Amino acid sequence: MSSTGMVSKLIFISAALIGLLSFYIYNIITIPPEVPQFDLNQWWGPYPIDLNRDLSIRPFTIEFTDVIINDLRERLLHRREFTPPLEDAGFTYGFNSNFLTQVLDYWQNKYNFKDREQFLNRYNHFKTNIQGLDIHFVHVKPQVSNHIHVIPLLMLHGWPGSFREFYEMIVKLARPHPSYNFVFELIIPSLPGFGYSEAPVRPGFGPAEMAVVIRNLMRRIGHERYYVHGGDAGHIVGSVMATLFQDEVLGFHTNMPVLMYHPLATAYTLLGSIWPSLIVEKELESRLYPLSQHFQRHLEESGYIHIQATKPDTIGAALTDSPTGLAAYILEKFSTWTNYEYKKAADGKLLMKYSLTHLLDNVMIYWATNSITTSMRLYSEACSKRNLALKLDQIPTNVPTWGIKFKHELIFQPDSLLRLKYKNYLHSTIVEDGGHFAALEMPDLLADDVFEAVDTFMEFHSGKNLKQETQVQPNYETAKTIYEFTVRNINGKDVKLDRYKGHVLVIVNVASQCGLTDTNYEQLNELYERYAISKGLRILAFPCNQFSGQEPGTHREIFNFAKKRNVKFDVFEKVDVNGDNAHPLWKFLKRTQSGTFGDFIKWNFSKFIIDKNGVPVERFGPNVNPIDLEPHLVKYW
Amino acid sequence: MSSTGMVSKLIFISAALIGLLSFYIYNIITIPPEVPQFDLNQWWGPYPIDLNRDLSIRPFTIEFTDVIINDLRERLLHRREFTPPLEDAGFTYGFNSNFLTQVLDYWQNKYNFKDREQFLNRYNHFKTNIQGLDIHFVHVKPQVSNHIHVIPLLMLHGWPGSFREFYEMIVKLARPHPSYNFVFELIIPSLPGFGYSEAPVRPGFGPAEMAVVIRNLMRRIGHERYYVHGGDAGHIVGSVMATLFQDEVLGFHTNMPVLMYHPLATAYTLLGSIWPSLIVEKELESRLYPLSQHFQRHLEESGYIHIQATKPDTIGAALTDSPTGLAAYILEKFSTWTNYEYKKAADGKLLMKYSLTHLLDNVMIYWATNSITTSMRLYSEACSKRNLALKLDQIPTNVPTWGIKFKHELIFQPDSLLRLKYKNYLHSTIVEDGGHFAALEMPDLLADDVFEAVDTFMEFHSGKNLKQETQVQPNYETAKTIYEFTVRNINGKDVKLDRYKGHVLVIVNVASQCGLTDTNYEQLNELYERYAISKGLRILAFPCNQFSGQEPGTHREIFNFAKKRNVKFDVFEKVDVNGDNAHPLWKFLKRTQSGTFGDFIKWNFSKFIIDKNGVPVERFGPNVNPIDLEPHLVKYW
């Protein structure tokens, strides 16, 4: 056959395929799949069903017994000589065996098993039998005064993670937050087949079946309506819960906001490689395109999915038997998934963001429970024809949803595509840092985001109008207090200032590139830390670019700048403070507290003190350091 | 954006993509890549280069030392409790851990290390340093009489195989074959990084670099021109050798005849899903189509490629440390790759075709040499951008090539596509049985095929006309001996009967579905075994469908029928024995030895004895059993 004939036939066939494709897409657009029905009591334990089983919630304690520890140390001691890494290979061929030696030496000799056991037991653990499986969970119930609401939050870990990854966040989430009048009651299960939760004994236990078990766990604990946070596998299970139980899940917060199997989203993504602006904001384009580059990266990083989706038991046999193998297999992910570039380093820069102790806590949970094989089987079930045929990602949900997108997350999907499924996708927080293991890597930032998301979910449910166009400002000439004004926070969400009623406030205009920046940020932080809890001080910072253009960045850049400086106080959207376009709040501030050489704001870091009634009471110039406000603030506590 | 607009844009883009694709394909068709140049002395050992290194060929002995054995037994004894398999899962989630227990118990308690060490040492082993790497090889030099030619044959094993896989074939290949006047001198290396051959210490050692080392090994041994056999990775390296060293490789025999990366072959394969007859013979269509089914199978089975191509060192850390993991990882392949259906069985039907001893011989080689990590790195190198950019599969070669295609091989590619690269692709042997590990599973059949292939390669080089149209038969009325006739063997290749000069022959017409079939095949085999070596008896069987249609099958079916019965004598292409279209040989036989009730052949299994001069001397009817020919044959020895 001639090559020309060949080419023309190829074109003909491709045209036919496009016709079919179009029809297929048309169907997808117009006919969303039906919500599948599940047996909510399906039995996953061994048969026969135990009809007299204990359905109570039993306290549970984590134990690293001497048997476990001695056996483990023995195996680490007698580990076999490694194959040396290739010259200068870093982590590019997988876990570098030179560095692995260091990790294992630490595990064997320095990791304090008893201390860590105690650390893991610092929160209350329980087990209860759901559908034939003993399900383990951490339960943190904060004790707070009556005027603070306690909101149930289910937190779902991923693979190769565990309940342990949320420990740094628990502190933040279960304690009153200066900006909100609620805290969280946390329910943190081990997913079935992970850690201390039992695994199903027969095939067919995919993300949907897991979602049913977790939902039943929440009912057993007494929660019929609750919020859900998840990442990685926790995102997938959480998303299914938000799909199947739309009346029970009050809001879904995810740090891996993606649709895994959504042909239309895939088609749009391909289309976007020609017209990116169709689906993704300009400043995020590089997180998705060029597609070839991201696809190449994904291909490099997804071997584990491929093997776990097809032969989990084979690789499981090796990882069950060898702590060396288990540590390498799990910890490799903590390098590359935190930052793709880390693989170039001989130590995978594992210690840049984590301590060996924390990393090994997580490995220990897999080791002590011998659960790596059953954890990996989830991939087989998730990729099974049966599960894919459910098309769960294509079923729309009305549950309000909020994503946080870290810079180095494995997959990025624009909001426009997420909205194909999440009909009330309220917001994406964009972070110019961080990777896949956000709970461990940036727990404070992630906890703040959960607070803000749940606050927004509650507004959503209370029917408050979220549309920003409706923002109505009072006349600054006649306003009496700052509480009448509305500003926008750094995420673009309206904040009525009456939320600060009863607090003494410092309002300040800030900039990132000013000679005063370092001192002011540092001392504002200090001031806040000293008086936020004890005296209810709040600091409201407004970025402003009107002084030599020293705050030129986008909101996201400013947000990230503030996060890098570990700013704890509230940073708002950039505003003008002088001129006709000055924000009404600032016009009001200047009217009520005029300046020494005129009302206008002279420079970055001008400061106003507002008393507990919302009235501006003092004004200070840029050269007054924040810490010097202390004696003045005293008057208003 | 409306869905209609979306669809029309998709169509537009697809059309544009087709345009690009066509251009791309056009380029590929018209411009074959250039043959890349390699540094034939590139150094792969540690620097600095050792200028005084020993370049001799040193004898080598395989040792399973007590240290190795005791350490291994210790690990097997202390293996950790396995995760039980899911109910009725068989091998579908990977190696079944119940059956794994049996394998490991056998290894620990019954595998006779010292016996096996002796078994492996039954052939001569050597090591020699090539380009900084100590390369191990088995060298079998047959001692034969002068009139038998000794032909050098390089045999290349695959992953997860070793030199061990050829042991059952060595016996066949290094001893005179009744049908040929040559035997093989065998050179069977451990590929660099596998078994007893050293691995390179830096990245970049792909199949091409490996081909260079092996070629240099052949030179060191003293062979500048030789034949090559390979399967799996051995196919890939062998194919590169046949591409880079076209003047050195005299012929390439492969039991995995595929082009791995050949866009045009891929395009044709896709095209063939609509017009299969364009590229594949009707009777082999099901080995390739429906494509979706084969692709699905390939997806299921290729997780190991994905992980080995990206993170070999991570998984290597586990398999280095745990004999349990190593056995599961390697032996899983011997189940599924032998027959995809075996995965449904609880024991993966591993013992259907292999013994545990033989399987563990191979695992032992990986274990004792701790070479699993370096062996897996070959996938990283083969899939590297650098290696793929060489486009080795798209460079044509003139080396005569012969493939054997087993029923359950992982990938099937029709001859039409193989010819895109192998310009002298002479023949495919089609086997309706067997899988990926042919050397271990069907050593006799594979060895016979190698003999026939090399015989054909030699004809090719001697310029003999291979075209079958030119077959000229003598006049059967005037012919003097059978040597004047030409027949076709079961592979459709012409065989002039003068190759049987000096042998006593039995010529018989056979059928598969006759009441006489069992007895005759059995006794013909017996006769052959008794007298082939001792007296030079040869048996020539001609399938014939003229008696109640009891030989209805295709050549392939007849071939496989004969192979199943372990037929050792020569089976030819189906012929007519009566009527105008009877084969001239049979007309000749009937003329020279007329029958009792007329010349015509009465039924299946009529027999003629031919003396050492090619003259038919006796004739027997179907009811005379082969074994009853004994007293008659005696006269002609």
Residue pLDDT, tens place only, B484-503: 999 988 777 788 898 888 89
Q: Please indicate whether, in this complex, the C-beta atoms of B313 and A96 are within 8 angstroms of each other.
A: yes
Closest CA to B229 of B250, B199, B205, B207: B250
Contact A136, A59 (CB under 8 A): no
Q: Please indicate whether, in this complex, the C-beta atoms of A315 and B312 are within 8 angstroms of each other.
A: no
Which residues have CB under 8 Å from B70's CB, separation 6+? none
Chain A residues inside the 8 Å CB shell of B88: 202-203
Contact B197, B135 (CB under 8 A): yes
| pLDDT band for position B558 (cuts 50, 70, 90) | confident
| pLDDT band for position B472 (cuts 50, 70, 90) | confident
Q: Which of A72-76, B267-271, B459-463, B490-494 has the lowest mean pLDDT?
A: B490-494
DSSP B123-185: SEEEEEEETTEEEEEEEE-----TTSEEEEEEEE--TT--GGGGHHHHHHHTS--TT-SEEEE
Q: Nearest by CB to A83, from B10, B271, B370: name it.
A: B370
Pairwise CA distance, residues B366 & B376, whole Å? 11
The separation between the first and the last C-alpha atoms of chain B, rounded to the nearest angstrom, is 90
Q: Nearest by CB to A93, from B30, B300, B380: name it.
A: B380
Q: Please indicate whether, in this complex, the C-beta atoms of A88 and B30 are within 8 angstroms of each other.
A: no
Query: Which of A436, A503, A555, A583 does the annotation list as catalytic?
Result: A436
Min Cα separation A149/chain B (Å): 42
Pairwise CA distance, residues B390 & B141, whole Å? 36
Chain A residues inside the 8 Å CB shell of B278: 1
Query: Side chain identity at B192, as an amino acid letter?
Result: P
What does the pLDDT look like over B94-104, one tens digit per residue?
999 999 999 99
3-state secondary structure A433-469: CCCCCHHHHCHHHHHHHHHHHHHHHHHHHCCCCCCHH
Q: Which residues pair with A189 in a beta bridge?
A: A137
Q: What percent of chain B has pLDDT above 70?
A: 95
Q: What is residue A509's predicted lDDT score, i.e. its pLDDT?
A: 94
Query: Which of A379, A422, A425, A531 does the annotation list as catalytic?
Result: A379
Query: Side chain identity at B451, as an amino acid letter?
Result: F
Query: Which of B86, B275, B367 to probe the A interface (max A CBs under 10 A)?
Result: B86
Pairwise CA distance, residues B605 & B595, whole Å? 14
Q: Which helix (H) or strand (E) holds B496?
A: strand B494-496
Min Cα separation A263/chain B (Å): 13
What does the pLDDT look like over B437-446, one tens digit per residue?
999 999 999 9
Residue of B nearest to A101 (CA): B317
Q: Please indicate whether, in this complex, the C-beta atoms of B320 and A82 are within 8 angstroms of each other.
A: yes
Pairwise CA distance, residues B302 & B288, whole Å? 17
Pairwise CA distance, residues A11 & B38, whole Å? 39
Which residues have CB under 8 Å from A397's CB, separation 6+? A239, A242, A243, A246, A252, A421, A422, A423
Closest CA to B175 of B443, B538, B425, B503: B443
Q: What's the angle, vertex CA A477, arms to CA A473 and CA A483, rounded to 5?
A: 45
Q: Which helix (H) or strand (E) holds A309?
A: helix A303-310
CA atoms within 13 A on the CB side of B623: 1
Q: What percent of chain B has pLDDT above 90?
A: 73
Contact B112, B106 (CB under 8 A): no
Q: In the predicted model, is pLDDT for residue B420 greater than 80?
A: yes
Structure tokens that stand for A624 in this block: 């007054």
Closest CA to B260 of B210, B291, B305, B229: B305
Q: In the predicted model, is pLDDT for residue B466 greater than 50?
A: no
Q: What is residue A466's predicted lDDT score, i.e. its pLDDT?
A: 46
Q: Please indicate whether, in this complex, the C-beta atoms of A313 and B95 are within 8 angstroms of each other.
A: yes
Q: Please indicate whether, in this complex, the C-beta atoms of B314 and A329 are within 8 angstroms of each other.
A: yes
CA distances from B405 to A243, A555, B168, B565 (A): 49, 63, 19, 19
Question: CA quadruple A414, A417, A422, A423: dihedral positive or negative?
Answer: positive
Q: Nearest by CB to A315, from B9, B92, B94: name it.
A: B94
Q: Nearest by CB to B304, from A200, A274, A307: name it.
A: A307
Q: Nearest by CB to A201, from B86, B200, B311: name it.
A: B86
What is the β-pairing status of strands B538-543 and B570-571? parallel
Contact B115, A229 (CB under 8 A): no
Q: Please indicate whether, in this complex, the C-beta atoms of B306 and A309 are within 8 angstroms of each other.
A: no
Q: Which helix (H) or strand (E) holds B234?
A: helix B233-244
What does the pLDDT look like over B386-400, one tens digit per residue?
999 999 999 999 999
For A597-623, what is the mean pLDDT?
Answer: 91
Closest CA to A609 of A587, A584, A637: A637
Closest CA to A94 of B193, B310, B375, B203: B310
Pairwise CA distance, residues A163 & A137, whole Å? 8
Q: Please indicate whether, in this complex, the C-beta atoms of A370 and B96 are within 8 angstroms of each other.
A: no
What is the β-pairing status of strands A616-620 and A607-610? antiparallel
Q: In the predicted model, is pLDDT for residue B634 greater than 50?
A: yes
Q: Please indicate whether, in this complex, the C-beta atoms of A370 and B80 are within 8 angstroms of each other.
A: yes
Residue of A nearest to B310 (CA): A300
Residue of B nearest to A90 (CA): B313
Contact A155, A187 (CB under 8 A): yes
Structure tokens that stand for B448 in this block: 């016979």
Q: In the predicted model, is pLDDT for residue A495 greater than 90?
A: no
Q: Please indicate whether, in this complex, the C-beta atoms of B302 and A300 are within 8 angstroms of each other.
A: no
Q: In the predicted model, is pLDDT for residue A215 greater than 80?
A: yes
Q: Nearest by CB to B329, from A82, A85, A314: name it.
A: A314
Residue of B nearest to A330 (CA): B314
Other Cβ atoms less than 10 A from the Cβ of B121: the count is: 14
Closest CA to B433 of B413, B410, B415, B407: B407
For B415-440, what is the mean pLDDT?
Answer: 95
- Known catalytic residue at A361: no
Scan for tokens 């048309």, then name that residue.
Answer: A26
Structure tokens that stand for B21 in this block: 């694709």
B578: left (phi over 0), alpha (psi -120 to 50) or beta: beta
DSSP B436-492: S-HHHHSHHHHHHHHHHHHHHHHHHHTT----GGG--PPPTTT--SGGG-EEEBTTS
For A380-390, what is the mean pLDDT?
Answer: 94
Min Cα separation A264/chain B (Å): 10
Pairwise CA distance, residues B462 & B337, whole Å? 38
Q: Please indicate whether, in this complex, the C-beta atoms of A94 and B312 are within 8 angstroms of each other.
A: yes
**Local structure of B52: helix, strand or coil:** coil
Closest CA to A453 of A246, A230, A295, A289: A230
Chain A residues inside the 8 Å CB shell of B302: 306
C-alpha A176 chain-centroid distance: 20
Q: Which helix (H) or strand (E) holds B230?
A: strand B226-230
A vs B: CB pairs below 8 A = 248
Q: Nearest by CB to A83, from B89, B300, B374: name it.
A: B374
Q: Please indicate whether, in this complex, the C-beta atoms of A13 and B271 are within 8 angstroms of each other.
A: yes
Residue of A nearest to B23 (CA): A7
Across chain B, mean pLDDT equals: 91
Query: Which of B313, B367, B386, B420 to probe the A interface (max A CBs under 10 A)?
Result: B313
Query: Which of B26, B310, B324 to probe the A interface (max A CBs under 10 A)?
Result: B310
Min Cα separation B70/chain A (Å): 13
Pairwise CA distance, residues A174 & A169, whole Å? 9
Q: In the predicted model, is pLDDT for residue A26 greater than 70?
A: no
Other Cβ atoms less than 10 A from the Cβ of A130: the count is: 25
What does the pLDDT look like over A335-370, one tens digit per residue?
999 999 999 999 999 999 999 999 999 999 999 999
Q: Please indicate whether, in this complex, the C-beta atoms of A315 and B315 are within 8 angstroms of each other.
A: yes
Other Cβ atoms less than 10 A from the Cβ of B149: the count is: 12
Pairwise CA distance, residues A403 & A144, whole Å? 28
Q: What is residue B18's predicted lDDT score, i.e. its pLDDT?
A: 73
Query: Which of A311, A371, A380, A381 to probe the B interface (max B CBs under 10 A)?
Result: A311
Which residues have CB under 8 Å from A549's CB, separation 6+? none
For B101-126, what is the mean pLDDT?
Answer: 97
Contact A543, A558 (CB under 8 A): yes
Q: Please indicate whether, in this complex, the C-beta atoms of A303 and B321 are within 8 angstroms of each other.
A: no
Question: CA quadruple B469, B471, B474, B476: dihedral positive or negative?
Answer: negative
Closest CA to A229 of A327, A179, A282, A163: A163
Chain A residues inside the 8 Å CB shell of B300: 310
Other Cβ atoms less than 10 A from the Cβ of B51: the count is: 5
Chain B residues inside the 8 Å CB shell of A30: 3
The separation between the first and the last C-alpha atoms of chain A, rounded to the nearest angstrom, is 90
Min Cα separation A444/chain B (Å): 31
Q: What is residue A494's predicted lDDT score, i.e. its pLDDT?
A: 80
**Local structure of B629: helix, strand or coil:** helix
Q: What is residue A544's predicted lDDT score, i.e. its pLDDT?
A: 93
Pairwise CA distance, residues A553 & A544, whole Å? 10
What does the pLDDT look like over B158-209, one tens digit per residue?
999 999 999 999 999 999 888 898 999 999 999 999 999 999 999 999 999 9
Contact A26, A85 (CB under 8 A): no
Pairwise CA distance, residues B107 & B103, whole Å? 6
Q: Please indicate whether, in this complex, the C-beta atoms of A87 and B203 are within 8 angstroms of each other.
A: yes
What single-letter DSSP state applies at residue A40?
Answer: T
Structure tokens that stand for A30 in this block: 């117009």
Q: Nearest by CB to B324, from A88, A306, A317: name it.
A: A317
Query: Which of A136, A157, A232, A393 does the annotation list as catalytic?
Result: A232
Pairwise CA distance, residues A365 & A362, whole Å? 5
Pairwise CA distance, residues A565 & B252, whole Å? 66
Min Cα separation B95/chain A (Å): 5
Structure tokens that stand for B252 in this block: 């390439």
Q: Please indicate whether, in this complex, the C-beta atoms of B325 and A311 are within 8 angstroms of each other.
A: no
